[in-house]
Chains A and B, each alone.
Chain A
Amino acid sequence: MTDQPRRDSTVLAGAGAVSADPVGVGTDLNLTYESGLELKARSQWSYARIRFFRHRLALVSLAILFLTAIVALRPGWFAPEGPNDQDLLNIAAGPSMDHLMGTDLLGRDYLSRVIFGLQTSLWVAFFVAILSTIVGTAIGAMAGYYGGIVDNLLMRFTDLILTLPTLAVLLAAGAFLGQQGQSLGPISISQPMVIALILAFLFWTQLARIVRGVFLSLREKEFVEAAKASGGSDSRIIIRHILPNCVGPIVVTTTLVIAAAILTEAALSFLGFGIQPPEPALGNLIAEGNVGGLGYWWLVTFPGIVIVIIALAVNFIGDGMRDALDPTQRVRA
C-alpha cells in the first residue's frame, strides 16, 4: 500500500527515489543527480493531492457539496421564508419569481421547505457516515488483528447481515423502532437520530470487511513484527502502525456511505418509515407532495433533483478519492 501510489512515477519518471522517502513524509524532495536526470521524490500525500485535483468532476462536486453543507448548517440564512410560514394567497402555486420552487398545499414556500429538509437529510447522512466508519474500522481492525474467534464472530455476523435485504430490514426497523424519539435512561434521542442510528447499524459491515482485509495482510509484515519486538502494545501497533495503511479505503468507503445513506434515508422517509413530519426531510417532502396527486409536479420534482445532485456529487468525490488514495482498486482507465 505504501509503495503503490508511486507505481506510475517509478515507471514513467524513472523515479528511483522510492527509497528516498519510504514513509511518505509530507515534503517534496528534489534530487538532481546530473543534468537531465531529475528525480522528483514526492510523498504519498502529494501524489494523492495531485491525482485528486486532476479529477475535475470531483473538484466541482466538492465545491457543490461544500456549498450544500453551508446551506444546511445555517438554513435560516438562505431560506427566503420560514419552513412553516404560509402564503395563503398562493396555495399550491407553481414555480414563480416569488416562490422559485412554488408553494405546497398549505401555501408554504417550497424552496424554504427543501432547504430545511436538506438540513435534516444531510445531517443524518453525515452522522451515519461517521458512526458507521468508527464502528466499522474498530470492528474490522480487531477482527483482522486478533483473528481467531473474534474474526470468526465478525465474519458470521457479516454473513448474517448480507443474507438480509437491507432496505426491507431498515423499513421494518423504521416502522417498529423509529416512529418516535427514544430515551435510553437519561439520554433522549430525537426521532431523526433514531433513524440515523438504525441506518448506521447496517452500514458499517462493508468497511469492516475492507479494514479486516488490510489488517490480515499486514499483521504478519516485518514492520509489525518489529514494532511487537520493540515492545509496542497492541493498541499502539493497531493505531500507529497498521491503521495509517487503511486511510485510503476508509476515506473512500465513508464517502460512498454518505451517498448510500442519503438515498436510503430518502426512501425510508418517502414510505413513511424514516424521518417523520413535521420534521422536514427530502424524502418525506416528496411523499407530502405526492399526496396531492401528480398535477403538483414541482412538489415531487425539486426535492428529488436535490437528492440526485447531492448523491451524484458525493459519488464523484468518492471516485476522485479512489483514484487519489487507492490506486490499486482503480480500474485502469
Chain B
Amino acid sequence: MPEPVLSIRDLTVEFKTEDGVVRAVTDVTYDLFPGETLGIVGESGSGKSVSVMTMLGLVPMPPGKLVGGEALYKGRDLLKIPKKELRNIRGGEVAMIFQDPMTSLNPVFKIGDQISEALQTHRDGLSDGDARKKTIELLELVGVPYAERRYDQYPHEFSGGMRQRAMIAMAIANDPTVLIADEPTTALDVTIQAQIIEVMRAAQDETNAATILITHDLGLVAELADRVVVMYAGRVVELGDVHTIFNSPRHPYTVGLMNSLARVDLDREWLEPIPGQPPSMISPPPGCAFHPRCAFSRGRERCRTEIPPLRGFGDGLAHLSACHFAEELEAQHVTAALALEPS
C-alpha cells in the first residue's frame, strides 16, 4: 500500500455553546491516499466537515477547542506547525471548495481578482497580468464561458452554478495535492449538480489531487468516491471501499442510509427512512450513539452500555465497522430485518 498523503489520527474537537459543551468529533481517524477520492458521509451535525476544517485551522477557537489528535500531511502535523507554514499549505497544496457558492465569494470584489488573489498569495512575484492570464485559463477549464469578460464581473452577476465553477477554479489554482470539497453540490439545482460533478472530475483529472468529498448525498459518493467514511454523532462508524460499503455494509446506520436511498438497481416498493432523530450532541446516548434508533440493538444490553470500537473485516481488515454485532450483518438479510419499526 502507498504512503497516505494525509492521515487524521484520533482527532477530538469540542465546541462551547450556550447550552453546554458539544463534542463535535471524537477520536476520528482516517487516511487519504494519493490520487484517490475519499467520501465522508453523514447527517448534518455528524461532524463531517469539522475534522478537515480543524486541520486547516478554519475552526474559530474559541468557541472550538482542540482536545487531541493529529493531522499528518506529508509527515508534518498540521495542528502543530506554525501559523505561517499552515497558511502556505492552505489554499496551496491543500485547497478547499465550500458548500454555498452564493455566500462564499466576497460580494465587493471581482470574481477574477478573487481567483488571482489565490494565485498571487502562493506564487511570489507573479505579475498582475500573468495572474489574470492564468485565471482566465482556469475559468475556461471549469467551463465558465466568455472567461475574458466574466473575469471583471462581480459575484452577484454570476449564477449559482457559475459561482461554484469559480470556487473550483480558485481551489485548483495552485495545483493542490489535496482537494477538499465540502458539500459542493448541495446548494445547487439538480440539473446544475450534474454539471458541477463533471467539473469536479475535470478538476481532479487536471490536478491529480487526492480528494476528500464531504457530503450527505450517497448518490454523489457512488459517483465520485473510491473509499467511504461513514460518520455518526461525531464518530467514524464505518470505513471501507465504495463497493464494499454499498454492497455489504457492516453497520446498521449505513444499512439504514442505503435503505433510505432511491436505487434503480434494486426492486423496491418504498424507501425506508431511519426512525427517530439525530442524537443530542450535548448529552449523547450512552453506549453506541446509534442504539436508540437501531432495530438491531433491541434488547441488547451491550449496545446501551459499551461504546463499540472500530474493528476490521474482510481482505486485510480494510473494512472497518464500529458495531458490536457487525458479524451478524449481511446486507441482503438485514434489509428485511431492519424494516421492522422500533417499538
Per-position contact with A for B256-295: 1 when CB-CB < 8 Å, else 0? 0000000000000000000011111111111000011100
Q: Which stretch of A5-13, A82-90, A185-193, A271-279 is in the interface?
A: A5-13
Of all chain A residues, the one with the shortest Cβ separation from B15 is A12
In contact, B292 and A37 (Cβ under 8 angstroms) = yes
Knowing A36-B284, A36-B286, A37-B285 are in contact, say whether A14-B279 is a contact too (CB < 8 A).
Answer: yes
Q: Which residues of A contact B19 (CB under 8 A)?
A: 8-9, 12-13
Expressed in whole angstroms, the Cα–Cα distance for A163 and B71 within the complex equals 59
| Total inter-chain residue pairs, C-beta < 8 Å | 55
Which residues, 1 to 31 on A, are CB-close (under 8 Å) to B? 8-9, 11-14, 16
Which residues, 280 to 313 on B, are CB-close (under 8 Å) to A? 280-286, 291-293, 304
Expressed in whole angstroms, the Cα–Cα distance for A16 and B279 within the complex equals 9
A34 an interface residue at 8 Å Cβ cutoff? yes
Expressed in whole angstroms, the Cα–Cα distance for A202 and B282 within the complex equals 48
In contact, A36 and B292 (Cβ under 8 angstroms) = yes
Of all chain B residues, the one with the shortest Cβ separation from A8 is B18
In contact, B304 and A35 (Cβ under 8 angstroms) = yes
Interface size class of B (residues with CB under 8 A): 20 to 34
Expressed in whole angstroms, the Cα–Cα distance for A11 and B19 within the complex equals 11
Of all chain B residues, the one with the shortest Cβ separation from A54 is B18
B4 an interface residue at 8 Å Cβ cutoff? no
Number of chain A residues close to chain B: CB under 8 A: 15
Expressed in whole angstroms, the Cα–Cα distance for A14 and B45 within the complex equals 9
Q: Which residues of A contact B281 (CB under 8 A)?
A: 12, 14
B22 an interface residue at 8 Å Cβ cutoff? yes
In contact, B277 and A16 (Cβ under 8 angstroms) = yes
Expressed in whole angstroms, the Cα–Cα distance for A9 and B18 within the complex equals 10
B332 an interface residue at 8 Å Cβ cutoff? no
Expressed in whole angstroms, the Cα–Cα distance for A38 and B281 within the complex equals 11
A39 an interface residue at 8 Å Cβ cutoff? yes
Q: Which residues of A contact B191 (CB under 8 A)?
A: none
Q: Which residues of A contact B342 (CB under 8 A)?
A: 34
Q: Which residues of A contact B286 (CB under 8 A)?
A: 35-36
In contact, B282 and A12 (Cβ under 8 angstroms) = yes
In contact, B283 and A38 (Cβ under 8 angstroms) = yes
In contact, B22 and A12 (Cβ under 8 angstroms) = yes
A33 an interface residue at 8 Å Cβ cutoff? yes
Expressed in whole angstroms, the Cα–Cα distance for A291 and B278 within the complex equals 70
Q: Which residues of A contact B277 (CB under 8 A)?
A: 14, 16, 33, 37, 39
